[in-house]
A and B are shown apart, each in its own frame.
Chain A
Amino acid sequence: MQCAGEENWVDSRTVYIGHKEPPPGADAFIQQRFPDNRVVSSKYTFWNFIPKNMFEQFRRVANFYFLIIFLVQLIIDTPTSPVTSGLPLFFVIIVTAIKQGYEDWLRHKADKAVNQCPVSVIQRGKKIKKESFRITVGDVVFVKEDETFACDLILLSSSRDDGTCFVTTASLDGESSHKTYYAVQDTKAFRTEEEVDSIHATIECEQPQPDLYKFVGRINIYMDNEAVARPLGSENVLLRGATLKNTEFIYAVAIYTGMETKMALNYQSKSQKRSAVEKSMNSYLVVYLCILISKALINTVLKYIWQADPNKDEPWYNERTEAQRQRHILIRAFTDFLAFMVLFNYIIPVSMYVTVEMQKFLGSYFIMWDDDMYDEELGEGAVVNTSDLNEELGQVEYVFTDKTGTLTENNMEFIECCVDGHVYVPDAICNGQVLSGAAAMDMIDTSPGPGGREREELFFRALCLCHTVQVKEEETVDGIKHGIHQGKSASFYISSSPDEVALVEGMKKLGFTYLRLKDGQMEILNREDEIERFELLEVLSFDSVRRRMSVIVRAASGDIFLFCKGADSSILPRVISGKVDEVKARVEHNAVEGLRTLCVAYRPLSPEQHQEVCRLLSGAKLALQDRDKRLSEAYELVEKDLILLGATAVEDRLQEQAADTIESLHKAGMKVWVLTGDKMETAAATCYASRLFRRNTQILELTTKRVEEQNLHDVLFDLSRTVLRHHGSMTRDNCSSLSNDCTDYGLIIDGATLSAVMRPPQEDLNSGSYKEIFLEICRNCSAVLCCRMAPLQKAQIVKMIKASKEHPITLAIGDGANDVSMILEAHVGIGIMGKEGRQAVRNSDYAIPKFKHLKKMLLVHGHYYYIRISELVQYFFYKNVCFIFPQFLYQFFCGFSQQPLYDTAYLTLYNISFTSLPILVYSLMEQHINMDILKKDPSLYKDVAKNSLLRWPTFIYWTVLGVYNAIVMFFGTYFLFDNTTFTSNGQMFGNWTFGTLVFTVLVFTVTFKLVLDTHYWTWINHFVIWGSLVFFVLFSLLWGGIIWPFLNYQRMYYVFMQMLSSGPAWLSIILLITASLLPDVVKKVIWRALWPTITERIQSADKLYKGQLSEFTPLASLHAPSKAGGRRRGSENQSNPRRSAAFSKKLMFTRWQRKPDYCTFTPLLRFVDGHSPHHNAYGGAEPETCV
């Protein structure tokens, strides 16, 4: 009875249906405790909100740092009041808390709505309405059509006679197709409340798991004191969140509730990805922290040296209090150190974090709003799941793309089938047309011999039966039959695999129509319009490891067949007879053409064999542990001794502009890897079609076939030698840009070989270095195709590249559940809103409707956001150096007494209001180059590659500029104040005027610095930049204009006005601003003139042609060898071809250039001079070839 009694039960739970004890003799009744069905997605409760939220917020290093500074200010006597750092900090904390609180309140509301929605539960033979959260494990639930399941359920019975129900899981994985679920066979007859209540059974199942598509369990039904055990699989489980469709009602029993439902388990936050910019920002922070500490240390030491003389320490006019005198010297020194820290702490501003976060958050809206990334068909635009990575889109070096559904449309079209070497083309038969491709082969033979005819029909039947396609009915059950009969498309096929739909539809064209599955009978309308019925005995479902699926059916005649279809590599080895060679030849031919091929085979089963098969399968299905493993073992045993019938070919069209996109990515210096589960030939053909490989690409193969011939070691070394020799010769001969010989390499590797390469090193010989050699080869290939990949292998590859020594930024793009692992692994994961559900989209950082949108995403948005945020980060550090360094210098003139140079209000507001908005607006609006040009000329992307704007030299330049400005501002003011007056009435100014003058110059200088850097002046920029300056002036007037009653000091009273009333103050403000900005302007101008980057060239050219540049397709002519002058700016491996005669000499100094792409190379000026434009410019779309 207890067929699996010996198994280990630790990881399982027992559910007592209707909370009834099992009859004596069975397992002891142990009431397990399960959580109720309350779903809690909220993070906080009313009571713990403040402590928990504060704790969460202060866990961030930056916030903690500011809290410490604030506490130090509270505890010790510091130069600035705690308000200066407390106010911004608490502003940030409170705003964040309010935001999070509001979001949590929304979650609470949603939770409440969910938890309190009424559900019908059967108790003592009656339906009782309960609030959803009161459902407990074991309750029998009654669900009506269009209701959503409140917890994970096991289907007991439904209103349909066959015990099935239809469910849509749109909110779980986005698949809107109706999926069929099955009731437990022994309970499907219980259809009223009383009957259901009389069920006496227990369910044993695994503990909750997040995998939506996996479930193992077993139901023990006690009837007449005899227990029957039935297996339960995922086809019996109705998941919370799914909706009942096309079924009047069902009864089901709750097995997982509340937070243990599969959906809740899946609902978890992803690990935080951090962008390269954030990493450089953090390293800059460390540098600034070091600067801060060293500044404080230097000042503390100098202070004590200076104070060694008691007359300086305590002159008669400035004595300490007794308490201060009593303090121990070490405590005093430490306090002084802390005080200096506090004085200089503004060098790391709170507002930087806020601004960066706002920039990312607000900036991501531009991606979502982008009209170009909106797909009419899907009715969706781009989705941003994480705005943290906006700038990372501008840093991508490796693109890993899935093939099916990503490069291709995943819109399958049945092209042909081949039975025993005879080729059938639906169109050719229907329309009398002969396809040229097929014509080259021998036959389109519609009249094979009588034996052939039989096999042909068997083949068609096989395809009609061997699938998991559902028929979606238009209206009523009667309607379909009618509809199909009339030849109208009143019904259509739905399947999670588009290939299957294509096949079944193809069969329809060839005369065999699959009607429906009813009561375990599959109905087929054959060529003679007769309905054939086959009893569906078993479905050996598809999985990506076996790469095949089978059905076992019993024909009306009583014969039992196993039909199997799958990839040729998984079918052919199991074939014992059939015209293998012909079919294989055709399959290979089709694969080369880029078609997806499947082989179809069958195996007649004798009743005894069938018994055996049933035993094997049910044994495996009942297993609670390792069910998958056992099942696949069973499948392995069943699917053998096959007889080959034929093969099919399905075409998957390339997505619109896929080739153009790939080409752009290549030009932008990215390496594109295609990772696919498809077979090599198909994938390679797609790669050619999408111009991942070009005609002149030299293909290197690293495949099982080749490895079988030589051993892996030799192949690897061979390849690396080829690649490196090539590379070496390139550097030596400089490979004149005119020559055509410079080929690039494309590598093809398959899954098996890859796992051999990745295998941890063995002890013998030097196999440990395989991975390095492989990486070395990959680095020198512009395109890599990995075929036959398992999902996990995809992630492995991404991980491997991520870990390679350059630590390149990777991007993974895919549409299916099999791409999720790689999407999660890559630095940036992009989901395509494809046909295979929403899992990729849900797990991605960004989601776009089509592959072509990647181009704008990376080339335009990525580029912009990188430029914007890098300026933002650099500028923030710069303006705080300008801000704090004068204060540091001032310490040398005030006896290292921590006297602040600026007034408290200025210290507080500098970063919050005087200088924050312009940079924020800059970082949202800046467009250094026109969007269209960025799209037209992908190589501009290289200008920002490898974090080029946040490298140390740039950072040091900004810092030095900041220090220079600080010195100019401080000493300029110092000499102006130097022991004289600069008012016309002889009155003197004090230290606060000194600070205000420096501060005024400071605010204007840093704002004007941004003015110089802004290339894109919209009215918003004007408003914000001039607005902040006006605000500063108005604020200063107001702040100094009133005796503020709440302040115990009035040091700023009339200081600003008095300063402005002095002519020399105005003059010195103008002078100091000019002197501060001068070097930066000169540097910019001279660099632009002498060593322009490509970006700057394009800007100039755009200016020259008054913004019309984007209309001239070729921009390559602007890519002068910017390194010719001996300077190397921008990208390292600039490989754009130039053939300017004037520069041919200089070209000799540049590195090897790749083969010129003539079509990209229409000279710009010839066009301008009036010659007709080239028509084959690369922008002109070449036909999107589909092989």
Chain B
Amino acid sequence: MMASSYNAKEEDGHHSGSSSHGGPGAIKSKKPDNTAFKQQRLPAWQPILTAGTVLPAFFVIGLIFIPIGIGLFVTSNNIKEFEIDYTGVEIDSPCYICAKNFSWNSTTSCVCSVNFTLDQPFESNVYMYYGLSNFYQNHRRYVKSRDDSQLNGVESNLKQPSKECEPYRTSDGLPIAPCGAIANSLFNDTLELFHINQNGTKQRVNVTKKGIAWWTDKHVKFRNPGGSSNLSVAFQGTAKPVNWRKAVYDLDPEDPENNGFINEDFIVWMRTAALPTFRKLYRIIQKKPNSTPTLSSGRYVMEITYNYPVLSFDGRKRMILSTISWMGGKNPFLGIAYITVGSICFFLGVVLLVIHHKYDTRTNSAEIPN
């Protein structure tokens, strides 16, 4: 279509009667250049996929994938993971009462403790996750209900949060900081882990709350507003999210580096999960310098400050303890998938070998018409 219009232009040239045609120069210039590109004869590599050429590739893929798969599978199996559901749906569950009596207005928080036993000791660092099920963090209305500029400490957005935050934008005429549904629904259960010694005493397991959020998030993407060290001043004129019990500048009063928008629990929560069943990193139990396991086998108790209601949407809350390898947490999928694909490739390689021997040679050479 374009070419036609260009030619129309040429005809216009004739139209005017001013175009020169027929001159020897014009004729000469019409002769196409004899270049490889214009004559479509550029040197080219012309591979063909035949059974013969693909065969080795299949075997190689098979031979590489199967060991990788086995390696991944073994690694995944070596990872220790312990998961406990503390939602409190069942009557015998220790948190049943807390779950049932939950009220947004109660000022005192309900505490429950869950006992569990680790059969095997957890070596190296142990990562403590909380997990939620049936919680749609990836719902569109939820995902976009945030103001990244506000979270980045932009003053104007602190006072004038983005419209995306509706209906969690203002409270009693004051702008909410941090605004939006995600911030509003910040997970606020407190999980504390105690080891029960042989003598029955509870010993708190030391946890760190640093390093649970992405470094870039904590240091670049999230920033507290204002230069002043006093966060309560910086957040003056804003309201706390309606479902929060404390203001944003009280998230971690002990550590100014972990308070306000740069509170790591908050940052972790703000990274919306991909699927409705998810887990988020809560605490890290650092490996002890000596050779004792990070978490030795034995009895433990987890004390929960039960603040977060999930029963209304049939949700579940879990606490997960997991060690980590280079490939992350326990997930046999990748290993199995590698083994499967590798085996299929290997099998197909054999099939192709048969086909190659039976057919390919024939089509290429044995066909002699007399």
List residues of chain A with CB under 8 Å of any chain B CB: 39, 41, 79, 99-100, 103, 106-107, 110-111, 113-114, 148, 170-171, 176, 241, 243, 263, 267, 269, 272, 311-312, 315-322, 357, 360-361, 364-366, 368-371, 374, 379-381, 383-388, 842, 864, 893-895, 897-900, 925, 927, 931, 972, 974-991, 993-995, 1012, 1015-1021, 1043, 1047-1051, 1053-1054, 1058, 1062-1064, 1067-1068, 1071, 1074-1075, 1078, 1081-1082, 1084-1086, 1088-1090, 1092, 1096-1097, 1099-1104, 1107, 1117-1118, 1120, 1138-1143, 1161, 1163, 1165-1166
Contact = CB atoms under 8 A, between A and B. Distances in A.
B355 to A, nearest CB: 5
A316 B356 contact: no
B241 to A, nearest CB: 11
B329 A980 contact: yes
A986 B125 contact: yes
A56 to B, nearest CB: 12
A571 B33 CA distance: 52
Contact of A982 (B11, B61, B284, B328): B328
B54 interface: yes
Contact of A1163 (B65, B164, B212, B368): B368
A99 B330 CA distance: 58
28 contacts: A41-B12, A110-B13, A111-B16, A171-B17, A269-B8, A315-B135, A316-B312, A318-B136, A318-B142, A320-B141, A360-B1, A361-B1, A381-B30, A383-B7, A387-B2, A984-B327, A987-B213, A987-B281, A993-B274, A1017-B45, A1018-B44, A1050-B221, A1053-B220, A1058-B214, A1071-B341, A1120-B363, A1140-B369, A1143-B367
A894 B138 contact: yes
A113 B18 CA distance: 9
A241 B185 CA distance: 80
A1104 B51 contact: no
B278 interface: yes
A736 B101 CA distance: 92
Nearest to A838: B14
A171 B136 contact: no
Contacts of B324: 981, 984-986
Contacts of B50: 1085, 1088-1089, 1100
A381 B314 CA distance: 75
B271 A988 contact: yes
A980 B212 CA distance: 15
A1102 B152 CA distance: 63
B142 A1100 contact: no
Contacts of A1096: 48
Interface string B161-198: 01010111000000000000100110000000000000
A369 B34 CA distance: 8
B158 to A, nearest CB: 14
A1012 B369 contact: no
Interface in B327-345: 327-331, 333-334, 337-338, 341, 344-345
B16 A110 contact: yes
Interface stretch (B91-99, B115-123, B143-151, B290-298): B143-151
Contacts of A368: 32
Interface string B215-254: 0110011000000000000000000000100000000000
A187 B324 CA distance: 108
Nearest to B271: A990
A1017 B312 CA distance: 60
B43 interface: yes
A587 to B, nearest CB: 40
Interface residues of B, number: 129
A1120 B367 contact: yes
B272 to A, nearest CB: 5
B9 A107 contact: yes
Contacts of B367: 1117-1118, 1120, 1140, 1142-1143, 1165
Interface string B1-33: 111111111011111111001100001101111
A1139 B359 CA distance: 19
Contacts, number: 386
A1064 B12 contact: no
A775 B324 CA distance: 77
Contacts of B370: 1139-1141, 1163
B74 interface: no
Contact of A895 (B21, B31, B51, B276): B276
B329 A981 contact: yes
Contact of A1048 (B27, B131, B162): B162
Contact of B216 (A269, A366, A1019, A1053): A1053
Interface in B29-69: 30-34, 38-51, 54, 61, 65, 68
Given A925-B42, A988-B273, A994-B274, A1078 B344 contact: yes
Contacts of B275: 893, 974, 977-979, 991, 994
A889 to B, nearest CB: 12
Q: Which of A79, A263, A385, A1047 has the most CB of B within 10 A?
A: A385
A320 B167 CA distance: 7
B149 A982 contact: no
A243 B17 contact: yes
B141 A980 contact: no
Contact of B284 (A148, A383, A986): A986
A208 B91 CA distance: 98
B364 interface: yes
A1139 B27 CA distance: 50
B14 A171 contact: yes
A866 B68 CA distance: 43
Given A893-B275, A1053-B221, A1058-B214, A1139 B140 contact: no
